[in-house]
Structure 1
Amino acid sequence: MQLLFIGGTGNISAASVRLALQQGHTVTLLNRGTRSLADYDIHGAESIITDINDEAATRAALGKRSFDVVANFIAFKPSDILRDIRLFSGRCAQYIFISSASAYQKPLAQPIITESTPLKNPYWDYSRDKIACENACTTAYRESDFPITIVRPSLTYETVIPTAIGGWNDYTIVERMRQRRPVVVHGDGNNLWTITHATDFAKGFVGLLGNQQALGEAFHITSDELLTWNQIYDAVGIAAGTGPVEKIHIPSSFIAKLEPRMEGSLLGDKAVSTLFDNTKIKRVVPGFQATTSFQTGIRRTLEWFEEQPERMQTNQACHDRLDKIIAAYQPTFDALKPI
């Protein structure tokens, strides 16, 4: 199939690009060209360098080309969806919007999340924008037969460190663990969470490409492994060579009040136990199974960071924020004294 991935070099998308290429698909990436394909082990994809937000430039770069599948990994606002409908109506047999599992109802009325769980998040603008994007997709499918599929990843990682507080795309949390400094864990650390390796996500995602059963449908694609946040932080510590880490447990509401920008990702997402029912993706993509345990996957992630020292960037401001949160909750805390 002829595939167009808008983005394609991100933490989630790169693994899907690699798998699609391995399966013999022709993959074109449309992005700004700011990331090296080799850094993400992508070889053999065509690259169109343009900014999707410049609609005229994108239209000119695409010419009269059409695709079997267009997948947008970097759409965040309804206006992005409306632009893509203008660009790709009549030019693709399937359009895939990458939404987010954080769009699901918070707090949950039922503990098991299926694709029919209501979409409602009063805490996080990011999630509400994704919901609005989904509404735009669904309207286009119902009213003009625009061939949409909606995919909702949950916390997915390969080239990021997926801790709830202090992690993501730099190396600060690992440095902190190796310095034997405490980390902040929201709540008591015992709520359950699902973390999915991008290579496992790719198996389900690529299985949806060109799949007629996926048209007009929404799917989440996650691992079935359930871990507590305490186990997640300890797994990172073990991968970093420190063993289980020293944790300071602080209520999510306290953290959000002190650091309002964390409200969405905590109260609107990670403070709530997430148990995903993956029956639907397994039915439409027979054989889909997530096989990478978090302990294995996070080791690979740290190895990726350590392959090139310039990836191991640390952020003193992040250390300072963590120390501030701990000190506000535990006034006797001495940030200069390792525990």
Structure 2
Amino acid sequence: MKVLLIGGTGTISSAVAARAVSEGFEVFLLNRGTRGDRVCPGATVFQADIQSDEERVAELLKEHQFDIVADFIAFVPEQLERDVRLFAGKVTQFFFISSASAYQKPLGSYLITESTPLSNPLWEYSRNKIACENYLMEEYRKHGFPCTIVRPSHTYDERYLPVAVHGKKGSWQVIDRILKGKPVLVHGDGSSLWTLTHAEDFARAFCGLMGNPAAVGNTFHITSDESLPWDQIYDRIGSALGMSVQKYHVSTDFLAHCDPEFLGTLAGDKSHSVVFDNTKVKRLVPGYAARIRFDEGARRCVRYLLETPRAQVSDPEFDAFCDRVIACQEGARSAFFSSITR
């Protein structure tokens, strides 16, 4: 089968590319060519910026028909309107990568299935993904556009250590604080459940859906069945480092007041307990189960970070943010107890 991955070098898409090649798919990537070190051996690259040059993409692909196209970098409906223009009548199955953050917040039930309502008033990213899904399903119902929607949850690989509270430059500064014995911020009381899925596990299920006619017109999430409290997630990172993690709990509301970016990523996502029912994808991909527990995944991430200097990107702005938040909370605590002893 002939497969085109739009993107193909990100955390999820590079794992899908590698898995697809290993399973014998003929794999093509469409991207800007800026991350050549992450191109999967065995894949062919079409170099173009689909976000800004639709005409060039159309010219590059005009002689090609694909069994499968998967867009990993579409975030708003206008980008999918472009995809429909490019691929309608030229593809047997089109995948859109949505997000499990689209499920309703707060949840009506702790157990999430694909029929859980989509509604996230707290995060624009999620609302845009919902709008994308609605557009594609309308295209399927009205015109037969052969879409399959996949909702990943928090998916990671060795190059992306999953933490909840971090700065714009990634997770290294959190690791640096742990290594230096400094407290790290954990939202809430650390007891809410979270599901982390290694990209290799995601790719096994995703490739099982590729070329599967029963998946067309359908929606799936693909996650691990392991749900851990955030405190345990940080403890497993600490164990991988051989360090004890000083976890400093701060309410999500306070963090979002201090930095509005956290309104979406925490209040609209990571502060809610999530447990996923993967029955639907397992019906179509018999034998699928996530195999990489987070203790093993954390060891892989930590090993990569410690052995790869270019991944050790310092973030002094975030480091200072952590110190200020902790100082403010400690100051409030002191002020409260001073007020009742007067």
Give TM class, smaller chain. Answer: over 0.9
Retained in 1: the 8 A contact 2:74–2:97? Answer: yes
Amino acid paired to 1:31: N
Paired residues of 1:170 and 1:314 also in contact (CA < 8 A): no
Q: C-alpha offsets along residues 94-131 of structure 1, whole Å, 9 cap, x if unaligned?
A: 00000000000000011110000000000000000000
Which one-letter code corresponds to 1:225 in the other structure? E
Q: How big is the shift at 1:61?
A: 1.6
8 Å Cα contact 2:184-2:246 kept in structure 1: yes
Q: Give the distance between the partners of 1:62 and 1:316, measured in 2 at CA.
A: 44
User: Higher mean Cα deviation, 113-122 or 314-323?
Assistant: 314-323
- 2:305 is aligned to 305
Partner letter of residue 42 of structure 2? Answer: G
After alignment, is 62-71 or 159-168 more displaced?
159-168
Q: Which runs of 5+ in 1 are unaligned?
A: 334-339
Structure 1 residues 306 and 49: alpha-carbon distance in aligned structure 2, compared to 1, 3 A threshold: farther
Q: 8 Å contact 1:4–1:69 — kept in the other structure?
A: yes
* Other-structure match for 2:336: none
Percent of aligned positions that are identical: 49
1:240 positional shift: 1.9
Number of the residue aligned with 1:169: 170
Paired residue type of 1:123: L
CA contact (8 A) 2:162 2:171 kept: no
Contact kept? 1:177, 1:183, Cα under 8 Å: yes
CA spacing shift, 1:41–1:148, aligned 2, 3 Å: closer
**Do 1:170 and 1:315's aligned partners in 2 also have CA atoms closer than 8 Å?**
no
Q: Over the residues paired in the alignment, what is the CA RMSD in angstroms?
A: 1.4
Match of 2:22 in 1: 22
TM normalised by structure 2 equals 0.94
Q: Is the 8 A contact 1:100 1:152 kept in 2?
A: yes
| CA–CA distance in structure 2, aligned partners of residues 61 and 318 of structure 1 | 42
1:188-337 alignment to 2 at 5 Å? 188-242=189-243, 244-331=244-331
Aligned to 2:47: 49
Looking at structure 2, the residues matched to 254 and 91 of structure 1 have their Cα atoms a distance apart, in angstroms, of 50
Structure 2 counterpart of 1:137: 136
Shift of 1:330: 1.9
Shift of 1:304: 2.4
Contact 2:8 2:39 in 1 (8 A): no
Please state how far the C-alpha of 1:170 moved relative to its aligned partner: 4.4
The question of whether the paired residues in 2 share the 8 Å contact of 1:21 and 1:44 is answered with yes
The answer as to whether partners of 2:30 and 2:48 remain within 8 angstroms in 1 is yes
Q: Distance in 2 between matches of 1:306 and 1:28?
A: 32
Largest Rg, 1 or 2: 2
Q: What residue is the counterpart of 1:109 in the other structure?
A: 108
Question: Are the aligned partners of 1:26 and 1:45 in contact in 2 as well (CA < 8 Å)?
Answer: yes
Corresponding residue for residue 148 of structure 2: 149
State how many pairs are aligned: 330
Q: Structure 1: which amino acid aligns with 2:136?
A: C
For residue 239 of structure 2, what is the amino acid of its counterpart?
I
Structure 2's unaligned 5+ residue stretches are 334-342
Q: For 1:3, what is the secondary structure of its paired residue?
A: strand
**1:130-165, CA deviations, whole angstroms, 9 ceiling, x for partnerless residues?**
000001110110010000000000000002111100
Q: 1: CA distance between counterparts of 2:215 and 2:170? A: 32
1:22-52 deviation line (CA, Å, top 9, x unaligned) = 0011100000111123xx4721100111001
Deviation, structure 1 residue 172 = 1.1
Q: What is the CA distance between 1:332 and its match in structure 2?
A: 7.9
> Is 1:87–2:113 an aligned residue pair?
no
Q: Which amino acid aligns with 1:155?
A: H
